[in-house]
Amino acid sequence: MYQVPNYTQTVSMKLSEVLADIGVNERIVMKTRRTWLLFESITNINDQLLDEIDKLTFFFGSRSECTTTIGMNSDIDQLICYKEIPVIQDWSDWIPGLHNCLMIQDDSVSPGYCLLQCLRSDAPLPADGESDQFLFKDRHGRLLYKNSIVSISKIDGLEVHGPAQTRIGQQGYSDIDHVFALHCTTWPQQARRWLDQQGEGQWPSAGMKQYCSRTGCFVVCIGCSGSENEQLEWRISTSLAERCLIFNLNITQIRCYVLMKIILKTFINPFYKDVITSFMCKTVLFHCISKTGSKIWRENNLLSCLSLCLYLLYNNIINEHCPHFIIPGNNLMRGKISPAVKPYILEILNNIIFSEGVALLGIKCDHLGSKLHDKFYNFCRIKTSDFISGLLFVDMALAISGKLVLIYNHLKDSSPNKTVEIFKKYLSKTVNCKYEGLDKTASHLTTPWYCTTLGSVLASLNIYQHNTVSADALKLISLGLNTDVASNKLKLASILYCVQEIQKADLVLSEIERRYDLHIVEPVCCCYFYEKELPRQGFFELCDNHNEEVIRYTTASCVTFLPCEIHCVPAELRYEMFRSTQEDRMVRTRNDNDWMDFAVVDSLPYLYFLQYKINNHLGRHDEKQAALFKLIRTIKEEPNLGHRETALNILGKCMEQEGRAGDALQCYLMSLNLRGRNNAAKIHIATLLSVFINART
């Protein structure tokens, strides 16, 4: 390979172009990382509002690093750090009133791991006690935490895999690994030599290392496999420092890492799963960069850089030794490679290294091989950067809606007055917090939703008490009208309809329909997992050229009414709040519990339903029939509705108003066919049959 530099440069440039086309380029990398950091901010701000101040959430791994591709279908790695149990390395760091634990790193502990000694909360002294389910008293009299303590934080519906609890993704969704961790504010003792060492390539820089040292470390509940203390050891994680290193790589280094993972997925994992990990590939890349510096890491040298990394990985496998980049004493390959599989993996890597790039043509992941082939013949293939941007912003809209549903679920049993009090507290918290950077952006994306919800709850109280809506309620509602294309505007229209402000409601609906471009706007529903089709091409194109603010013009979330907003809801939709019998409640899943006591409807069907009602009120027959036709068409043709059964229920009520009882019954039966339980269609059918029987009598 190294004997034909012109060939190597040509292949490297074509390969760089292919990777750029599938989303591994500077613009998408920066956009992706910003989005995932925003997810972190939104999650943590939401937890603060719910007074869950004892934890912090981080998103690590390839998705947040943007070191993956669509074809790799990587997991989402979520680390949840509990602050109420601080880990200390020095007695002077002991914090009164908290469950401190002392990190022990001695000769009895495997490199890269530690023991956690339980301390008293009232004095900087070791805790007393005896062994139990989660504590072990060793021969030195130390009370040590067992790493099995993770079961305390077990989340329903998740499978435990080592230190992680995994939510297995349904079709169209990624698996999510939840790792529970404790944080130590000081740099781990085993990694202190790394801060002073300097590789031949002068990487990482002194500034990067200084930053890394301030991140401290995490400890996660998994011991070293085969260790005599396996049940007591906790793995030391330097994830924040590693994220700093990844974020400081240039695009060629990122592409090299992505290629290593694609090679792993294509040529090794199908036959020898979990022997070589992506973290080993990342570690190999770090070692290569530290030994070579940045000069060789250029686009026209990508193939040579890839070969360099694969060759180092090859040598590591021969020696069964891959030292952790920050804690070199931790051998990542210890006990991982059996003698039976070792020669086969070495043969695979050897063939790839000496194929001079030809082996890459056989990669089917992301169609990389065929795209590389086409590049040499100047065939043009569609780039996927707009596709990645679109999926990122769908996830962003889902994340915002999902956090709002968590808050709704927290309040669903509260009285209207209590709900008002709590939302005022939320708004006070967000106003008083001096957010900066991405936290400020996250707050700007989420706070308007709280304003509209508070305004709607106040409006419901106003309607119940005085059959009107106060200026304060309308002002709060107006602050959230531009969160997305339709949902909060539809709340306003619904409120105006309920107080018989028909002309004003009509104007609001006309504005929504004008802005709701059917070729661009994407419905967003986070209530439960269901199979979705890909968003529209117009949505992808618009998202590719804008930042996260674009979700205000390209997405339409569900319209959600809490029980305490019932007076803002037309009679036909109120039934959704009473969809469940006691028997239905018994068979709800965990996800169902978050939304089934609300009235929830997709924005577009609700738009046409309100148009039908208002045009009927105004005596505009043709416009009423047009709205009814659009409602029917939307239910039939819109692929990504989350609550099609609810849309069918309100269509059935329209059919009843039209005097078409048979068609109404058909709508309710179709609704039940989609969701057999927890469905208000049962109430509608019973009511319809009652009317029919009474009429016959």
DSSP assignment of 162-218: TTEEEE---TTS--EEEEEEEEESS--GGGHHHHH---TT--S-HHHHHHHHHT-EE
d(CA 576, CA 590): 19
Helix (H, G, I), strand (E, B) or coil at 83: strand
User: In this predicted model, what pLDDT tens digit does every residue of 27-72 receive, in sequence order?
Assistant: 999 999 999 999 999 999 999 998 888 899 999 999 999 999 999 9
Average pLDDT over residues 650-679: 96
Task: State the pLDDT confidence band at 1, using cuts at 50, 70 and 90.
Answer: very low
Model-level pTM greater than 0.75?
yes
Look at residue 425 in the predicted model and tell me its pLDDT. 92
d(CA 614, CA 74): 47
Residue 335 and residue 374 in contact, taking contact as beta carbons nearer than 8 Å:
no
pLDDT at 436 over 70: yes
Task: State the pLDDT confidence band at 2, using cuts at 50, 70 and 90.
Answer: very low
Task: State the pLDDT confidence band at 176, using cuts at 50, 70 and 90.
Answer: confident
What b/e sequence results for 170-187 when a residue is b if at least 16 CB atoms lie within 10 Å of its CB, and e otherwise? eeeeebbbbbbbbbbebb
d(CA 427, CA 552): 21
Per CATH, the architecture of 570-697 is what?
Alpha Horseshoe (1.25)
Look at residue 171 in the predicted model and tell me its pLDDT. 46
User: In this predicted model, what pLDDT tens digit does every residue of 386-414 receive, in sequence order?
Assistant: 789 999 999 999 999 999 998 998 888 88
Q: What percent of the chain has pLDDT over 70?
A: 94
CATH of domain 1-24+249-382: 1.10.1410.40
Look at residue 5 in the predicted model and tell me its pLDDT. 57
Average pLDDT over residues 502-516: 97
Q: In this structure, what DSSP letter does residue 140 have?
A: T
Q: Hey, what amino acid is at 254?
A: I
Task: State the pLDDT confidence band at 690, using cuts at 50, 70 and 90.
Answer: confident
Residue with tokens 């780039």: 383
Look at residue 163 in the predicted model and tell me its pLDDT. 54
As a whole number, the mean pLDDT across the chain is 91
Look at residue 382 in the predicted model and tell me its pLDDT. 59
User: In this predicted model, what pLDDT tens digit does every residue of 129-141 receive, in sequence order?
Assistant: 888 888 999 888 8
Task: State the pLDDT confidence band at 355, using cuts at 50, 70 and 90.
Answer: very high
User: In this predicted model, what pLDDT tens digit does every residue of 269-313 receive, in sequence order?
Assistant: 999 998 999 999 999 999 999 999 778 999 999 999 999 999 999
Look at residue 3 in the predicted model and tell me its pLDDT. 43
pLDDT at 476 over 60: yes
d(CA 196, CA 638): 60
Q: What percent of the chain has pLDDT over 90?
A: 76
User: In this predicted model, what pLDDT tens digit does every residue of 306-353 receive, in sequence order?
Assistant: 999 999 999 999 999 999 999 999 999 998 999 999 999 999 999 999
